[in-house]
Amino acid sequence: MTEQVVATNEVSCGVEPAARRPRRVAASKPAAGRGRREAAAPKTAAERFGVLPRPSLDYTPEVAAATAHLYERVAHVIPAIEWPFHAPYVKAINDLKKVRDAVILAHNYMTPEIYHCVADFVGDSLQLARLAEKTSAKVIVQGGVHFMAETSKVLSPEKTVLIPDGKAGCSLAASITAEDVRLLRRRYPGVPVVAYVNTSAEVKAEVDVTCTSSNAIEVVESFGVDRVICLPDQYLARWVAANSKVKIITWKGSCEVHERFTGEELEAYRAADPNVRIIAHPECPPDVIAASDFAGSTAKMIDFVKTVPVGGRVVLVTECSMADNVAAEAPGVEFVRPCNLCPHMKRITLPKILDALLEMKEEVVVDPEVAARARRAVERMIHLKN
Ligand code: SF4
């Protein structure tokens, strides 16, 4: 049998993952010399596009009529009594998208009123990255966390990319820096480096190619070598190692949402109903994957759910909102939802999306040189052919 190695954070000796180290603050640049003209600061998105007045957010008969077809999509998860709060935002956002020539890209973990009622495109990280590249809209509003908005900017540098809450981070993306990747390269010269898309643009700029949970195995095997560095998610790396002949060197990052599930918890669901199907995300720890019937990306989880016969029961081991959103697409299936919310994804709300479109904030900016190198790594993944 081929040896499969997961060398968890082999550089831990003297080098802690970035999330546990104090962040260094960049030294300020010396003042420009006398007589030298200061470069004009680039205009902000608000200056370029202008700020629009706030529309009425009353729940009027006109708003009720304009949003009735959208409520049908979420009636299974949003009580009728709550709809008058959401509906005015839904209408205002959908109207404003036309004014701003904007699209909303929503990750599967967005809440149902965002996912089903204002999003133009929905999907996992890979699907959204591809859509960001293709859309002809001038403005992209990212319904997701900061690394996703950076990826959109990297792929579409000419577009204005907004994130409704700039504090929407990710424990995985925060676990590693560009400097950490350079250190790994020195430690393992010549070994290809694959980064999960849940990383900053600066980290992507240092690697050979990115991957998502949909294509991680395919990307790792595409090098045709026996050893690959796959970072920063230790659990995704273990899952790749278990399903491939390639030896994997990884980093000790993890998703704070998926690492909270346990195999014991899942065994209890199976004991209660032996026919239940358990589907887990590969960011979960190995005992959770072992206790599941299927592990795959959010897009592959949706495909799997569609194969479950009407009347079947499914335990969806991932972020809570995903189950709410998938339930709409598989009405005959009963979902059991061991619920862990991603606090970063939940920073994105309808009121913040409305503010983003009205005030053109918060604009995502990536250094052009970093963006060019990060784009190469992402495009290599997007255009990967077997
Ligand atoms: S669910 Fe996990 S990986 Fe996804 S954004 Fe939240 S912390 Fe990051």
How is 192-240 classified by DSSP, letter by letter?
A: -EEEESSS-HHHHTTSSEEE-TTTHHHHHHTT-SSEEEEESBHHHHHHH
Instruction: Please say whether the beta carbons of 196 and 239 come within 8 A.
Output: no
Single-letter residue type at 170:
C
Instruction: Please say whether the beta carbons of 257 and 107 come within 8 A.
Output: no
User: Which residue has its alpha carbon closest to ligand 1 atom 5?
Assistant: 170
Minimum-distance ligand 1 atom for the alpha carbon of 145: 5
Alpha-carbon span 178 to 65, nearest angstrom:
50
Instruction: Please say whether the beta carbons of 121 and 156 come within 8 A.
Output: no
Minimum-distance ligand 1 atom for the alpha carbon of 342: 6
Mutate to test the pocket of ligand 1, among 147, 236, 256 (most ligand atoms within 8 A of CB): 256
What is the per-residue pLDDT for 38? 67
Q: Do domains 46-170+346-359 and 259-341 have the same CATH topology?
A: yes
Instruction: Please say whether the beta carbons of 192 and 219 come within 8 A.
Output: no
What is the per-residue pLDDT for 302? 83
SS3 365: coil
Q: Does the C-beta of 145 come closer than 6 Å to ligand 1?
A: yes
Alpha-carbon span 64 to 91, nearest angstrom:
9
Count CA atoms closer than 13 A to 255's CA, side-chain side. Answer: 25
Alpha-carbon span 329 to 302, nearest angstrom:
9
Minimum-distance ligand 1 atom for the alpha carbon of 283: 3
Q: Does the C-beta of 345 come closer than 6 Å to ligand 1?
A: yes
Overall fold of domain 46-170+346-359: Rossmann fold (3.40.50)
Residue 100 pairs in a beta bridge with none
Q: How far is the centre of ligand 1, averaged over its atoms, from the C-alpha of 145 (Å)?
A: 8
What is the per-residue pLDDT for 16? 42
Minimum-distance ligand 1 atom for the alpha carbon of 171: 7
Alpha-carbon span 312 to 31, nearest angstrom:
67
User: Mean pLDDT for each consecutive 10-residue tract of the chain (386 residues)?
Assistant: 40 39 40 57 92 97 97 92 98 98 94 96 83 89 96 93 96 96 96 96 97 91 96 94 94 92 91 90 90 86 85 86 77 81 95 98 96 95 72
Overall fold of domain 259-341: Rossmann fold (3.40.50)
Alpha-carbon span 243 to 354, nearest angstrom:
43
CB atoms within 10 A of CB 373: 16
User: Which residue has its alpha carbon closest to ligand 1 atom 8?
Assistant: 170
Q: Does the C-beta of 344 come closer than 6 Å to ligand 1?
A: yes
What is the per-residue pLDDT for 326? 77
Instruction: Please say whether the beta carbons of 91 and 63 come within 8 A.
Output: yes
Alpha-carbon span 234 to 228, nearest angstrom:
13
- Domain locations along the chain: 46-170+346-359, 172-257+366-382, 259-341
For residues 314, 319, 322, 323, the Cα torsion angle rounded to the nearest 10 degrees is 30
Instruction: Please say whether the beta carbons of 298 and 276 come within 8 A.
Output: no
Q: Does the C-beta of 197 come closer than 6 Å to ligand 1?
A: no
The secondary structure of 120-158 as a DSSP string is SEEE-HHHHHHHHHH---SEEEEES-HHHHHHHHHH-TT
Q: Does the C-beta of 256 come closer than 6 Å to ligand 1?
A: yes
Q: Does the C-beta of 358 come closer than 6 Å to ligand 1?
A: no
Q: How far is the centre of ligand 1, averaged over its atoms, from the C-alpha of 253 (Å)?
A: 11
Alpha-carbon span 97 to 178, nearest angstrom:
35
Please state the CATH superfamily assignment of the domain spanning residues 172-257+366-382 in this structure.
NadA-like (3.40.50.10800)
Instruction: Please say whether the beta carbons of 268 and 338 come within 8 A.
Output: no
Q: How far is the centre of ligand 1, averaged over its atoms, from the C-alpha of 61 (Å)?
A: 39
What is the per-residue pLDDT for 226? 95
Minimum-distance ligand 1 atom for the alpha carbon of 144: 5
Pick the closest to residue 219 from 186, 250, 244, 200 (CA basis): 244
